[in-house]
Amino acid sequence: MATKTTTLLVDDLTGAELQEGRGETLAFALEGQHYEIDLGPETANELRGLLTPYIAAGRRLGRGEVPKKNAVSGEQAAARAWLTEQGIDVPARGRIAAELMERYRKR
């Protein structure tokens, strides 16, 4: 008896079945977590379009390079400075409490 295996590629975002040769697997990472998603041409282009301004503003890491875990975001640094100017006791290192970040954002 023979066995025939069929692979069906489906757009992970829309659920649409993709014709052979029309889909692609895109890989991306965010906050240290890596992802893969299968998309059709339209949704792949949509994802690329959404990410374009962020990619343009970001710094490209070398292959295998890992972002610094202790890096402080620009917003965190600005919030720390503003909160300190307001006389609010903020630790010099580590994450700023959510309620203090909210206060900074609402300034």
- CA distances to 35, 46, 51, 75 from 32, in Å: 10, 23, 17, 19
Stretch 51-69: mean pLDDT, rounded? 80
Tell whether 54 and 81 lie within a shared domain.
no
Considering the domain boundaries, does residue 2 fall inside one?
A: no
Tell whether 38 and 52 lie within a shared domain.
yes
pLDDT band at 63 (very low <50, low <70, confident <90, very high): confident
Q: Is the entire prediction scored with pTM above 0.75?
A: no
Domain that holds residue 82: 74-105
Tell whether 48 and 88 lie within a shared domain.
no
Considering the domain boundaries, does residue 1 fall inside one?
A: no
**Domains held by the chain: number:** 2
At 5 the pLDDT is 83
Decide: residue 35, CB within 10 A, 0-12 exposed, 13-18 middle, 19+ buried. Answer: exposed
Interatomic CA distance for residues 47 and 59, integer angstroms: 19
At 74 the pLDDT is 77
Tell whether 64 and 80 lie within a shared domain.
no
Tell whether 17 and 61 lie within a shared domain.
yes
User: pLDDT (tens digit, 9 = 90+) per residue, 89-103?
Assistant: 888 888 888 889 888
